[in-house]
Structure 1
Amino acid sequence: MAKLYFNYSTMNAGKSTTLLQSSFNYQERGMRPFLFTAALDNRYGVGKIASRIGLQAEASLFSADTDLLKVIEEEIKVQPVDCVMIDEAQFLTRDQVFQLSEITDKLKIPVLAYGLRTDFQGNLFEGSQYLLAWADELRELKTICHCGKKATMVIRVNEDGQPVREGAQKEIGGNDRYVALCRFHFKEAVYS
């Protein structure tokens, strides 16, 4: 039975690495995964999912106006799709999460979405909000704060390493811009 999975975490927990490993597992068994990544994330090149440990794969781009269900319906007319995988799933819209549920429910294709739960201010992203509400299974990928506790939050930092408290919710960056922290250290950085 196909399910919609949401694999979430803070920065640096291995979301992209896990997605790429899952994709490899499908391919190794002669199956075909279909990969999506956010159009606004071009840190590793356009249409690429890459991990910090060097793994990468080509992916189709999605933006806020992409109809994911329609893309997959057209794709399966050409060749089978055994699984749909989405990197940077926090950037999905409510409608796109609904489309993913349709891929699962009507097309009977499993969907594995990977993304951040919250932004640098501790607020849910739209995609994450609806994936948390509608996914069949939730999986938290864990990483740690500098203190050794589980990191559940992320802060954005400026070029001097100081916390940024205001700004656009969607801003792409890596270790130079974001730091994963436990809730205690998040509150200390953002609210003190």
Structure 2
Amino acid sequence: VAMHSERVTMDFSPEKKILTLHLINPLITTQEKDSISQSVTMDEMPLSINLDKSRSRRIKANRFTNREIREALDTPGYLDKRQTTEFATELPRRASFSLACIVFALIGVPLAINTRRKDTSTGFALGILIASLYFLALIFADLSRKNDTMLPYILLWLPNIITVAVALRLHKRATHKG
């Protein structure tokens, strides 16, 4: 579809976020796949464009920067109750997830210290198991973010706490072995 017009006047309603174009002598041309084109002309044609994208598309916290999340939480009426909970738990989720590399390094060191050759596959399997359980716990914690209690905040940090506890136990076991 192609539109051409001799003249265009515009009106914008900031309250409704609607842009209205008044096309004077517009020519509208459509082209089909098999090269058949159709043209329509009119004296005048109003064309309204809704610019309020906040209601037409779901707002997701993971598409926002940290600063934008804080601003959205500080703006009254911008988010509904469910979105407020999602946005409020997004920053702790990011911080918790960022610590995953440190947590896995803490787990990997005692598993790599093992000196016996026959135990290398056991350490590898244990590492994969711990990482899988860690990410399953993170997915479960992420699903609990819909709850507006303190539970999501606790569950977001729980995989890190448990994995660090396992890492400390493995370190202790590795030092007593060697």
TM-score (norm 1): 0.23
- Report which structure shows greater RCO (CA 8 Å, sep ≥6): 1
Larger radius of gyration: 2
Structure holding more helix per residue: 2
TM-score (norm 2): 0.24
